[in-house]
Amino acid sequence: MKEVFNGSEIEVVDFDDATSGEHVIEFRDPAWRSNEAVIAISVPDGGSWSDAVASVNPRRNDVPVSFVIWAIGVAEKRMQ
């Protein structure tokens, strides 16, 4: 599914990781790299939103704070 951030379409991939049991939402910007997440937000198996963590792709030197805040908001809505 795609969401729009500042006029750019961002691919949002929502899945449950079968090996770890985590619920993961990845945010991919095709303008950067179409097959890699810029940021991923995950909730561990049996956890709730208060246990969520965010991981930034180490190949991405930096991520605008406004993008991180936006991604967290999208993820929170989807995980409720």
Task: Provide the residue ranges of all domains of the chain, joining segments of one domain with +.
Answer: 2-79
Q: Give the per-residue pLDDT at 57.
A: 95
Q: pLDDT-derived band of residue 19, with 50, 70 and 90 as boundaries?
A: confident
Q: pLDDT-derived band of residue 72, with 50, 70 and 90 as boundaries?
A: very high
Alpha helices in the chain (DSSP H): 65-79
Closest CA to 15 of 24, 7, 4: 24
Q: pLDDT-derived band of residue 61, with 50, 70 and 90 as boundaries?
A: confident
Cα distance between residue 26 and residue 71, in whole Å: 9
